[in-house]
Chains A and B, each alone.
Chain A
């Protein structure tokens, strides 16, 4: 029997508000008419229970009688609400995990009411509407087709999805005889994302073996060779206008780290770089620190909530799967979206509106990070028109790992154990899908590649793993990410060999084929290598946390990957071919700088610079991100020392956050980032250099030590099969090498995402070259940290760093629609001296507040410092810093620049400490709540009240 328990909130109907808002986003101008008049939520429950028992479930578990009313009915009855007919009931698609269902099954059992199945639903009511409106509601507003369906009328039994039993039969792919055309077709049909040369290589391999591959073998090869897993472009051969690279990453980014580590000798503070799931550096005598930042772009474009949700869930498993397991201590999130005021009618088919993407992504990160109890402490949001088809979502996690747990090694004879979530049909083909371009139909056909996260499942896994780690219960660990078991077992067993019995994997429901089990990317799973004697205890530890653990097979020194299902062998792969058999292609790359990059900018003739400052403060790229930050718990675990929002009212923009991961110590670390997509088209080399400098500045500004500073790269680019796209990437990678070496900041980890392009009806939208640099720097004593808000009237203000005359890629140029001008570049020698000397001054307590000069230039920096500290400033000395027109001096974005607030009696000590560096006393902190900046001719060019500046900056992100 199936019962429906439908729950209605008394008072405010938040969900109604949300869907009507979304509807009007797509139908601007129809403002007055709300299609949805009320909403309910509820559960379909199936089991051998009567109406009284269903009612008991409703009363004692599912409904909160103080604020809700519950209604129990037999499923299939007619539905109506205050006379308004039901528009539709939204259910998850069959096969998509329903996190609440698992909890409810267990809780119902506790009440003595055993159930067979539970499925959540949402339901909407409203007057009959036009077919056109209904289509919009169903397809874009009420549900997301990628994971949900809308049922009109009563819900039927078959909407409670449960699998049908699977009957084994082994599938072979007829490959041996195929011609080139057919090989390409096969790659497309199976979503293998392999090119012709790769397909031919596989064909050749099987021709030698004299047999056709099993489907699961071909899938395994495709996963392992995917861009997502093997990074074949960045690690492949490249011809850049005659300059040859055998392995771009190895010769640029890895090389910088290698060389730095060599020169540090026994003082090398890197522990494990580019070899594990996260980069590891030394922290203190007890712990190392690790950090990883991932991209989760494709899934977030299609289903923003679930995409971002599993993005953060996935990157948390990286530190957990590093060494023998790190405890996650903080998260970061960086997003790139198209402008939120994009007219809905201009959206190409298949693209979600940026507002929908942003709200979905933000809540996806929120619900996972908050629930699992990891503070989200740093981030950035960047808006650019060309993120329309491919929004970017970067999620990072740092973790703490005991010094004796930094390395792992699976041994022959170890059991292959899966811990955590069950395997389902969700997330099939994520690795290969994410290596392809998006197009109009992606939204529909790749639903299987999108998964929903379950943060509590992962929390149980984290708790169980950390306990098992401390008891020494396993020899190696890694996470199941893209490629699922296929990648995790394949990588862990790379130097041994593995035998896996796929029917041993715990499943969410019946009906999965052996191949689906092997490549499913169901979330919240870790793979462990466990000595047989320790299995019983490991199982016990997991059970104590409510986490499931199962033995899948064994690592054997065979050099082969052997898969079985119910005793039948379904794969027998040579690991050497799997990991080293991929053909290495030469890709050509080229670059010619756009003419505008060297043109001289034409400044507006008449300009009210105060008005410009207000407009810049309100520019989406600069404006306050408080709406997002407040939705993230940044205090859980108690380690938040410098918070993302600072100042008198806790709402000013901190340059970076500082975390104190061990509450019994004063040691900490600062986390910040650099991201400058507007620079990339003009000068990818300068963009990379400036991004590194920005990330360094941000962490140094709060007290991070530039001599213990590690950085991470995330390259998000367009289709690198086109030489000019690859060329810009080569230049950025070269800049990364040069500046990492110059700043002595090793790269410790990275991740790329290529082919970020969108095709629709003849249009091709390519993202701007986007490089995210994340920085992590040690803080010797957290009590020495500083924040960016002005502290005391009468204090002196200094500019440290040299303003440059370039406006290329600046927010000022964007505001005025100005083309042209060079992008500034840091002078590496001077920049490192600035960062290091500033750090010394901060440690000596000479700096009362410090804020870096970034987007919007010095004027924006000063405005933010002033309104965050509720103190004014008079700036008369900027002109000493360089001869240039006022707007360039005020709004230029020169790297390696900071504004410092210093107590009067410490000024001479500071100038002494920073002697030889570009340092100018530029003004004074004032009690009057206004900001005044004098121009070249000595007149006040900006004279603005702080409350007006702050009001502009606090312009809501979402109207």
Chain B
């Protein structure tokens, strides 16, 4: 297959859909933006696509909890289609609110009989926090992050603190290589606030499912595609691309 088709799934309150579309277009593929109202009417439409992206935003105002209402809709009305999408070697990406949605819909970590294994809770600071962060990347099986090592990208969220129900769940995720993105300081070490802007357990910034093909992350790679988006480009000079661009290129390359 030469060129994958990308579906950007919108819902009331999605607000990073345009720059996410731009990211894929810059990587050379076309995108289509579909509203959840429409997709619920026709779940089979999913089959026309190879990459599904849930962009950042505040779906349904994050009323109840961030991403929860859209997550419930995905689980209730699209669960079957989504699972078969994933199982057909396709890719699913959730950025920020999209990560919250994927996690709460159980698409990254399958809930067990006691319920969900993990969640994204209010930041330790109790505040929304917008800042640029350094990430260490351990790609493992995750095609989105192939050959990547470090990443400078912004975060902007109030509910991004990764918490597992019990410590053994966190240990298991570390062992299985699902913790693919971690907040680090400039020296490359795990560190506390502000390097870990939300207080995530184990400095988790992004997580993939056991197959590696479903990735959720709190930071915004689609906000660092262009060299002029770098926070210090006037000091360090303009680079060929922003650091987040590789993630989208990788997603497209995966199908080549």
Contact = CB atoms under 8 A, between A and B. Distances in A.
Answer yes or no: do A and B interact.
yes
Interface of A: 12, 14, 17-18, 60-62, 64-67, 99-100, 103-104, 106-107, 110-111, 366, 370-373, 454-456, 459-460, 543-546, 629-638, 640-643, 646-648, 650, 660, 663-664, 666, 782-783, 785-787, 789, 791, 849, 869
Contacts of A636: 15-16, 19, 56, 156, 223
A635 B72 contact: no
Contacts of B65: 64
A453 to B, nearest CB: 10
A858 B180 CA distance: 48
A456 B35 contact: no
Interface string B24-50: 000000000001011000000000000
Interface residues of B, number: 58
Given A111-B72, A370-B58, A61 B64 contact: yes
Contact of A456 (B13, B56, B68, B228): B13
B190 interface: no
A629 B131 CA distance: 10
Nearest to B66: A64
- Across the A-B interface, the 10 shortest Cβ-Cβ residue pairs: A373-B15, A103-B63, A638-B19, A66-B119, A100-B63, A456-B61, A633-B156, A371-B58, A14-B126, A456-B13
A663 B68 contact: no
Interface in B39-81: 56-58, 60-65, 68-69, 72-73, 76-77
B121 interface: yes
A66 B111 CA distance: 11
A65 B116 contact: yes
Contacts of B124: 12
B61 A631 contact: no
B94 interface: no
15 contacts: A64-B116, A65-B115, A99-B61, A100-B61, A103-B60, A103-B64, A107-B72, A371-B62, A546-B37, A631-B127, A635-B130, A635-B229, A660-B228, A787-B234, A787-B235
A663 B19 contact: yes
Contacts of B154: 635
A366 B63 CA distance: 16
A61 B68 contact: yes
Contact of B15 (A106, A459, A664, A791): A459
Contacts of A12: 124, 126
B83 interface: no
A640 B116 contact: no
A650 B133 CA distance: 11
Contacts of A546: 12, 35, 37
A460 B12 contact: yes
Interface of B: 12-16, 18-19, 22, 35, 37-38, 56-58, 60-65, 68-69, 72-73, 76-77, 115-119, 121-122, 124, 126-132, 154, 156, 163-165, 220, 222-223, 225-226, 228-229, 231-232, 234-235, 238
B226 A66 contact: no
Nearest to A662: B22
Contacts of B129: 630-631
A366 B12 contact: no
Which of A455, A636, A638 is most buried by chain B, counting CB atoms within 10 A of its CB? Answer: A638
A66 B64 contact: no
B72 A455 contact: no
Given A637-B18, A638-B222, A630 B131 contact: yes
B130 A634 contact: yes
Given A110-B72, A373-B57, A634-B130, 16 more contacts: A18-B126, A65-B116, A66-B118, A66-B119, A67-B121, A100-B61, A103-B60, A544-B37, A630-B129, A635-B223, A636-B19, A638-B19, A638-B229, A646-B234, A787-B234, A791-B235
Contacts of A14: 122, 126
Contacts of B19: 636-638, 663
A185 B231 CA distance: 59
Given A61-B68, A103-B60, A111 B12 contact: no
Contacts of A107: 60, 64, 69, 72-73
A642 B230 CA distance: 9
Contact of A104 (B16, B63, B130): B63
Contacts of B15: 371-373, 459, 636
Contacts of B225: 638, 663
Contacts of B35: 544-546
A370 B128 contact: yes
Given A371-B58, A544-B37, A783-B238, A67 B231 contact: no
B61 A371 contact: yes
Contact of B128 (A106, A633, A635, A787): A633
Contacts of B60: 103, 107, 456
A543 B37 CA distance: 9
Nearest to A62: B64
Given A110-B72, A635-B223, A636-B156, A64 B231 contact: no
Which of A456, A460, A650, A869 is most buried by chain B, counting CB atoms within 10 A of its CB? Answer: A456
B232 A17 contact: no
A635 B156 contact: yes
A821 to B, nearest CB: 37
B130 A631 contact: yes
A788 to B, nearest CB: 9
A635 B18 CA distance: 13
B228 A783 contact: yes
A630 B13 contact: no
B61 A67 contact: no
Contacts of A61: 64, 68-69, 72
A792 to B, nearest CB: 9
A783 B130 CA distance: 24
Contacts of B64: 61-62, 100, 103-104, 107
Contacts of B57: 373
A660 B73 CA distance: 35
Which of A100, A373, A643 is most buried by chain B, counting CB atoms within 10 A of its CB? Answer: A373
B61 A454 contact: yes
A546 B73 CA distance: 15
B226 A663 contact: yes
Contacts of B73: 107, 110
Contacts of B220: 635
Nearest to B242: A638
Contacts of B132: 650
A455 B58 contact: yes
Contacts of A660: 226, 228
Contacts of A647: 232, 235
B62 A64 contact: no
A110 B37 contact: no
Contacts of B61: 99-100, 103, 371, 454-456
Nearest to A101: B63
Nearest to A627: B127
A638 B58 contact: no
B38 A544 contact: yes
A370 B61 CA distance: 10
Given A61-B68, A783-B238, A633 B116 contact: no
